[in-house]
A and B are shown apart, each in its own frame.
Chain A
């Protein structure tokens, strides 16, 4: 995304937020429509399988409950990704504390997101996913945000709570690893 695209995108988001703050609930619909698909993809890349819809919804609930704290110097999508990642980590921690209550059967994991994943049968895509699954969590998150979501290193650093330099290193290490595994 070019800098001009980013600026225009941020201006639209900011105007929608102001509309919502002013009482126009339709602005919320526009914001959700703009960002929900990307949040669903990011949830999948974070390893969420059986409740992507719920994670996306909870992300928006948290975000709209804290919109007053949103700073316009950060892209709205970057901020939403940050919230979603924290939410997923919180849910994982909570699930670890109550392991006896969670018994996920393979068939339970079949969701609309899986059903529509037409690339599952694609051999190359499957190889890519296998390769990405072997990356460290940080490498995978950086690589996904950089390549599949087109985020800049600055945004990635903010979302993952790291530095731009570290994100850059993780990206290059991930690319080298995926390249080697694909060519094995």
Chain B
């Protein structure tokens, strides 16, 4: 039998056998398998190994948890492990379009007619500044390619980089107080150093917002739409 030299596909075979590939990868592997006897043999062996995976009894979770140290910040009000109230883990794939709102971006305008820094746009701008500060002084270039970068620019941006990133528990119509909602990353508006923001014009701010929108990994403060939650069972399928 001819040895296969497609090492990329060979690397994917264990995940193919475990049915962990994306649809695109699965098609790629199956196309290759249709023409490669060596890899078909490997798949047969890997399937046999996968089927021989030991079956284990359900672990005694209560006994294990009882033996664990107490949480570092446990207080009398902390919920104990044996709390009977439900504890659902709701996951959301931020990359999935269905989990992102399609509602138009809100622009809050204050009584004086100026856009509030606490509006969605203001928070995005702060996030953009933070991001750009981490990447260096390119923010100044984004603002004004003609003007030299001054020490004041750098200091203003450096202050913004201290804006904390937090895990936020967004309000979700189907979630109770006991639900753990992950992962939603946003800025904490109450502690933004608003007074330190540079004096951007509307045009400059719009440019920053557009750059942020074009950045795929931008932190989001968008509300997640009420897609039904995943249950613990579905999460635990992988581990069983």
Q: Does A24 contact B57, Cβ atoms closer than 8 Å?
A: no
CB-based contact B91/A12 at 8 Å? yes
Q: Does A137 contact B (CB under 8 A)?
A: no
Q: A26-B79, A45-B54, A147-B50 are in contact. Are A16 and B89 (CB under 8 A)?
A: yes
Query: Interface on chain B toward A: helix, strand, loop, or mixed SS?
Result: loop
CB distance from A20 to the nearest CB of B (A): 5
Any B CB within 8 A of the CB of A5: yes
A95 on the B face (CB < 8 A):
no
> Closest CB of chain A to B74's CB: distance in Å?
5
Q: A23-B78, A26-B79, A178-B45 are in contact. Are A113 and B89 (CB under 8 A)?
A: no
Q: Is A32 touching B54 in the complex (CB atoms < 8 A)?
A: no
The answer for the CA separation of A107 and B26 in the assembled complex, in Å, is 45
Interface centre among B60, B81, B93 (most CB of A within 10 A): B81
Q: Look across to chain A and name the residue whose beta carbon is closest to the beta carbon of B56.
A: A40
Chain B contacts of A65 at CB under 8 A?
69
Is B53 on the interface with A (CB-CB < 8 A)?
yes
Contact status B20-A61, CB under 8 Å: no
User: Given A34-B235, A60-B64, does the pair A41, B89 have CB atoms closer than 8 Å?
Assistant: no
User: B95 contacts which chain A residues (CB < 8 A)?
Assistant: 4
Q: Does B142 touch A at the CB level, under 8 Å? A: no
Main SS at interface, chain A: helix
Check B49 against A147 for contact (C-beta < 8 Å): yes
Contacts of A112 in B (CB 8 A): 57
B45 engages A16 (CB within 8 Å) = no
In contact, A56 and B235 (Cβ under 8 angstroms): no
Q: Is A165 an interface residue (CB 8 A)?
A: no
Does B51 make an interface contact (CB < 8 A)? yes
Interchain CB contact under 8 A, B182 and A12: yes
Query: Is the CB–CB distance between A118 and B55 below 8 Å?
Result: yes
Contact residues of A with B, CB < 8 Å?
A: 1-2, 4-5, 8-9, 11-12, 14-16, 18-30, 32-41, 44-45, 52-53, 56-57, 60-61, 64-65, 68, 112-113, 115-119, 122, 124-125, 127-129, 132, 143, 146-148, 150, 175, 178-179, 182
Interface residues, chain B, with chain A CB atoms under 8 Å away:
14-15, 17-18, 20-22, 25, 41-42, 45-46, 48-61, 63-65, 67-75, 77-81, 83, 87, 89, 91, 93, 95, 167, 180, 182-183, 232, 235-236, 238-240
